Structure 1
Amino acid sequence: MHPSQQPSTEFIKLLTNHQTALRGYIISLLPGCQDVNDVLQDTNVVLWEKMHSFEAGSNFQAWAFTIARNKVMQYWGQQKKLKRISLSESILDAIAEARKESRPELLENKLQALQSCLKILKQDERNLLHARYEQTESLQSYANKIGRSSASTRVSLHRIRQKLRSCVDLRLQWKGDTA
């Protein structure tokens, strides 16, 4: 790398400070997908390669989110070729536009609140969340494994999400950090 191409300290700080926001953005565009970390890594590679095209003082998050969106579109294209489920581009565009306005510090605070709230769940509730969001196992398969109907498991999942949403909202209110 030529000395004039060395990354600036400011760019490294921006890239590092926006990792949580970028990850959250990619998760919102790839709901329930196990490949989020791969897409984030691919996005970071492109950001690094294009660091000299970023104009200092401009909106880093908007620039990074545009690159992340392109990587997600590339991912969905690959999934479509492999005959896996894909998301329509219009839905992806709507989600991407809504997420562009997110504040990184709010996302970080929400993530911290969520991590705290997850700790207060019962073990069986955490197991259900793990099965639904971190494993490739279907809800029906998990319900069968624990001896419950898929309908009651779906209701339980809904109640857990409501409990987490309320807990996160309450924690953010305590911090005075609302969207």
Structure 2
Amino acid sequence: MLIMAAQEEFVKLLTAHRSMLYAMAYSICRKHDDAETIVQDASITMWEKFSEFEPGTSFGKWSRAFLYRTAMNHVRAVRRLPLACDPDVMESLSAGYESMSGVFRDDRLIDTLNTCIDELPATDKGVLHLRFQQEKDCASLAGVLKKSVHAVEVILYRIRKRLELCIRTKLQTQDSST
């Protein structure tokens, strides 16, 4: 039962920090697949070492240390990945992520974004799916949608603006009701 509680706590903490870890990994390697691999490898190591984590301390800081070491090992092993920046800059980035950690953990913002996406028309949701889940660039989207690249850029811009307005409105409504 104790193992189950530790596993649940780990999953909860990792889920809350995953976006930040992915952003950090991507800022190091600049490739989505490699960033995902780095996050997965770091997550495995973190789970193996989770018994060493001290409750009440910063999981974000603890997890970033694992991610940083995993990313550096990945970059050294692969050698084809250019370092986006030197180790000193990475330390600075890590400190920046620490100061922004509240942004990444704000479940309310993520929930609001998901609600707003759910409210989009099906065609807009399809475009977002192609762009972000299938990682298609604007040129690829243009081919799929049979539109010009510029038209796709305009579509994405309008979706982004719609989402921004929806999120702002919902957050303001939530803030005024509390």
Work out whether the TM-score is over 0.5. Answer: yes
* Structure 1 residue ranges (4+ consecutive) displaced by more than 6 angstroms after TM superposition: none
Task: Give the partner amino acid of 2:155.
Answer: S
**What is the aligned partner in structure 2 of residue 20 from structure 1?**
15
CA deviation string 1:58-97 (max 9, x = no partner): 222211133234434445556652x6xx561267666543
Distance 2:56 2:135 in 1: 42
Q: Report the CA distance shift for 1:21/1:66 in structure 2 as closer, same or farther (over 3 A).
A: farther
Aligned 1:99-110 pairs, distance under 5 A: 99-101=97-99, 102-103=101-102, 106-110=105-109
CA deviation string 1:29-56 (max 9, x = no partner): 3388256654443222111222243234
Structure 1 gaps of 5+ residues are 1-5
Q: Report the CA distance shift for 1:79/1:109 in structure 2 as closer, same or farther (over 3 A).
A: farther
Q: Report the CA distance shift for 1:68/1:50 in structure 2 as closer, same or farther (over 3 A).
A: same
- Which protein has greater RCO, CA pairs closer than 8 Å, 6+ apart? 1
Normalization by structure 1: what TM-score? 0.72
Residue identity (%): 21
Distance 1:133 1:116 in 2: 17
- The alignment of Structure 1 onto Structure 2 pairs a total of residues equal to 168
CA deviation string 1:152-179 (max 9, x = no partner): 21122122122212222332333339xx
Structure 2 gaps of 5+ residues are none
Distance 1:171 1:25 in 2: 24
Normalized per residue, the structure richer in helix is 2
Q: Let me know the Cα RMSD of the aligned residues.
A: 3.3
2:32 aligns to what SS in structure 1? Answer: coil
2:142 aligns to what SS in structure 1? Answer: helix
